[in-house]
Amino acid sequence: MNFFDGPDEATFRSELRAWLAENRPSKEGDRDHGADGNRASLEWHRQLYQGGWLGLSWPVEYGGRGLTPLYDAIVNEEVGASGAHVPSVGYLGRAILHYGSDEQKRTYLPPMLRGEVQWCQGFSEPGAGSDLASLRTRAERRDDVYVVNGQKVWTSRAQWADWCLLLCRTNPELPKHKGISCLVFEMNRPGITVHPLQQTWGTAEFNEVFFDNLEVPIENRIGEEGDGWPLATIILAHERGPADIGFIAHFQHQLNEFERLLSELPEERRSEFANRVAQAYVSVAACRLHVLKSLSLRAKGVAPGADTSIDKLLMTRVEQELGALAWDMAGAAPSLGLDDETVYQYLRARASSIYGGTQQIQRSIVAQRLLGMPRG
């Protein structure tokens, strides 16, 4: 495995760094995680797309550039290293690329990539979070529509979304993994109620979403009836990969901040944190090396699978380690309400061991699918 850029990749990285130096949004804008922050995030999405930096591995006919996934990884690394975020268009787009009809791909993918519409992901439910296959939201087929009833929860950015990709049960008679299908629809349709949920870190980016006799046209189904579970596994595999969401570079950016803070601390406090910063470097390096292994397989055409659970486990460990270190190095400021960003970072990191599948779920996947261990 070669950890270094080839000539074309090095040129691409250099051009991207130069562009980011001229175009990266202000760091102050990153601190708003509410409605204004969402608008700023969408504007940044559009700016990246117009610069030619999004959808690099997507087919050209749907707005991409037809490059290898390594170029997406370079964008994630460099944008994250600049302190900015990478828009998460990959999860849902990948599912539509794999299971959507040609017409659906032409309809949904280019506006998604351009940042003209926002999407939310209707997966988790009360009682069906980590055990997603137990979902109970029903979609009953009546003539040329599905009638949807049920509830989703922890739906990120649903209050701002234009479209939703929904997992629902279309055949309750089949085993739970077999009777699930996928529908997409506009969020302004009658029969949808969105309730934002206030998080401990002070924002309401998650939501409850209720469906009451929502009618969705048959042609809005992605794939065939019963394709919902394999479609979901594609989305979750990409969601669990730190490289797909810019986490590795974001971690490196945090390490750089820790070094700066360390140099500013009094001598007695500097020695207290020096070993923890060094350990954080080791943790980030271990996560990065495994992610590079995963990316090298994807570059060879191997789709992400159960091994992304290792990435997710490592990512969670690192994110929570860095969040705790940031809190401790900040002294009393977070506890006194004088450092909202560190509070957000620390509390948000606690959620990383839940979203995308809990730590327990990830360990079970590693044990059963990678190590061949029996259930139970």
Q: How far apart are CA 24 and CA 19, in angstroms?
A: 8
Query: Helices 247-264 and 308-329, interaxial angle, to 10°?
Result: 20
Q: Could you give the angle at the alpha carbon of 207 between the alpha carbons of 206 and 211, nearest 5°?
A: 150
Contact 312, 260 (CB under 8 A): no
Q: How far apart are CA 374 and CA 376, in angstroms?
A: 6
Catalytic residue list contains 140: no
Q: Which helix (H) or strand (E) holds 349?
A: helix 340-350
What DSSP line would sit under 210-242, residue for residue? EEEEEEEEGGGB-SSTT-HHHHHHHHHHHHT-G
Q: Which of 235, 227, 180, 185 is nearest to 209 (CA)?
A: 185
Residue tagged active-site, from 205, 239, 267, 319? 239
* Residues with catalytic roles: 239
